[in-house]
Amino acid sequence: MKTILVVDDDKLILRLAKEALKDYHLRTAENGREALEILRRSPPDLVLTDLNMPVMDGFELISFLNRRQQDIPIIVMTGFGSSEIARQLKQKGVHHYIEKPFEINLLRNKIAEVLQARSKGFIHGFTLANFLQAVEVEQKTVTLRVISNRQVGYLHIKNGELINADTENFKGEKAAIDILCWDDPEIEMQGLRTREQIIRVSLMQILLWASTRQDEKQDGSSTLDDLMDEAVWLIKGHHFKRAQKQLAAFLKKNPRNPRAWLWYSRIIINPKSIESALKNAKHLAPKDPEILEEIQKLEIVKASLQNGSVRRCPFCWTATGLKVSRCPYCRSALSISGDLFAGKKTPKKEILEKAVERYTKVIASEKNLNAHYYMSLAQLNLGRWEEGLNLFHKTVNLAPEKKGLEKQLRILLNHMASEEPACPGPGEPARPAMIVPGERDQKKKILVVEDSPTTRKVISITLGQKGYEIIEARDGLEALSRLSEAPPDLILLDIVLPKMDGYKILEIIRKNNLFRHIPVIMLTSKDSMISKWKGRLAGSTAYLTKPFDPKKLVTTIEKHL
């Protein structure tokens, strides 16, 4: 079995990787330094790493691998993908990266592509049912890895007897039946992976059940459990109309299922019908804590729902009025507006964390605009401005025709530009620019030298939508490297930087005949005559104090280009 080392400080990503990559042996680390310890002990077949991490970031880890273990392939996963990041990675020999949040199938495909995971043990020319019968006759002890339409499952056979099976969603008999119903499966023989016996019925019985289920599928019918599971998944992805039909069909056949009544109450919009559905759920399961909590939510909002339809909080499913800006139960802001930035009420963190996990899984399985939007909003409610901004930018790019999303992005950027203390990044304030929509006939390059990833991201989004091409640098040494590789048309240069400050960088630029003509706008949080004088003396073109007026930033850039 191939071994993959996953390096990321986001524990949710590590947990999703464990769920998604069950067909690999997985090791995890939360930063580059932990990864180095694992690499020294036992090198993996592939490294899957984030870039932005504490202690040692992804770039440093990649540099180590390039020096010591060049044969290990690397896939980068990043929430800050750009042409500049892709270029930097290629320079380090990394040609594969995916943007977070990612679809699970995309991740699996990318790993399979990099590893060229075509095993010589694949069996061709047999149906899975026929091959299982042959294994039974020969009393083989083996695990069959079965792949179909990006699904992976395992059938564990000991002395010809099917003892266990597992897929991403099921174990035991249900998993075996599910695998046998897959279309055009590929079969790979492996050594027996488990000796735990869960399946107690014969292989012939499993084959008969699978055959019956396939017949049902061909007739357009489905089991009740499948109907219920599919309906809940549709609700989590905000496909409410389809989910309502599914649940109505389920409840018609099985009206004594409290879970179905609970989920049904979360998607209907008539207050009396919501109350009726919850009464049914409570009658069937009077002590169920989730049902009791849902009834408590309804009691909180009941008085305000008397005059018409409702909408749902995307984080806790509480029914609210159509014009409510903050959920009355979990206290989360429901859109990007002034209420999000006011910070008067602290949202319930546990509910938001569960929502982030839920929407991450939805995004991993389908392209879903609602999931992207509400996941970014959850991160913003949690105070994770950098992640929220990045996700919301991707949301806008998924639906550029929706002007309402673009308007909310502008509100977010303008607020982050003018309200420095309200939007901290990891250990530092965010001090970005604003967005001004528009296009240019010819892209101008702007080198942004800034050690704050939040600020760099906001400037990239802002000026990228304006039509500029952004080149990023985190410190002075990297800035000089970027400058020599692709001379920009203008430089935005922070003064306070690690390794080499902005004054020294500017002095080097002005002494070089190739670059001395490039306009340099200095950015700093220091607002003093001495700082401005030092900037002018070093050769700056203009000087802006952070947090700055977004319009002034754009006007200054336009003026000097």
Q: Which amino acid is at 400?
A: P
Average pLDDT rounded to a whole number, residues 124-150 = 83
Q: What is the DSSP letter of 468?
A: P
- Determine the 3-state secondary structure of 429 from DSSP: strand
pLDDT of residue 120: 42
Could you give phi then psi for residue 124, rounded to 5 degrees? -125, 155
Task: HSE, CB side, 13 Å, CA atoms: give it for residue 83.
Answer: 9
pLDDT tens, residue by residue, 202-229:
898 899 888 887 776 665 555 666 778 8
Average pLDDT rounded to a whole number, residues 124-136 = 82
| Residue whose structure tokens are 């014969």 | 202
Q: Are residues 375 and 67 in contact, defined by beta-carbon separation less than 8 angstroms?
A: no
pLDDT of residue 260: 93
Structure tokens at 342: 């006011």
pLDDT tens, residue by residue, 450-498:
888 777 787 888 788 778 888 888 888 788 878 877 789 999 998 888 8
Same fold, 3-115 and 445-560: yes
In the chain, domain spans: 3-115, 122-218, 224-309, 445-560
- The mean-pLDDT minimum among 212-216, 270-274, 311-315, 363-367 falls in 212-216
Percentage of the chain surpassing pLDDT 90? 25
Q: Which class does domain 224-309 fall in? A: mainly alpha
> Residue 117: pLDDT band by 50, 70, 90 thresholds?
very low
Q: Bridge-partner residues for 186, per DSSP? A: 147
Average pLDDT rounded to a whole number, residues 331-335 = 92
Q: For residues 499 and 477, what is the distance between their CA atoms, to the nearest angstrom?
A: 7
> Residue 315: pLDDT band by 50, 70, 90 thresholds?
very high
pLDDT tens, residue by residue, 217-265:
665 555 666 778 888 999 999 999 999 988 988 898 889 999 999 999 9
Q: Are residues 100 and 71 in contact, defined by beta-carbon separation less than 8 angstroms?
A: no
pLDDT tens, residue by residue, 35-80:
988 888 888 888 999 988 877 888 888 888 877 766 688 899 887 6
pLDDT of residue 218: 61
Question: In terms of Cα–Cα distance, which of 51, 65, 63 is closest to 100?
Answer: 51
| Residue whose structure tokens are 């549709």 | 234
pLDDT tens, residue by residue, 158-209:
999 999 998 877 889 989 999 998 888 888 887 787 888 999 888 988 998 8
Q: For residues 499 and 506, what is the distance between their CA atoms, to the nearest angstrom?
A: 14
Which superfamily is assigned to 445-560 in CATH?
Response regulator (3.40.50.2300)
pLDDT of residue 478: 83
Other C-beta atoms lying within 10 Å of the C-beta of residue 126: 12
pTM attached to this predicted model: 0.63
Percentage of the chain surpassing pLDDT 70? 86
Please determine, looking at this structure, whether the domain spanning 3-115 carries the CATH number 3.40.50.2000: no
Q: For residues 369 and 362, what is the distance between their CA atoms, to the nearest angstrom?
A: 10
* Separation in Å, CA 533 to CA 145, 149, 299, 498, 523: 69, 64, 63, 22, 14
Q: Are residues 360 and 19 in contact, defined by beta-carbon separation less than 8 angstroms?
A: no
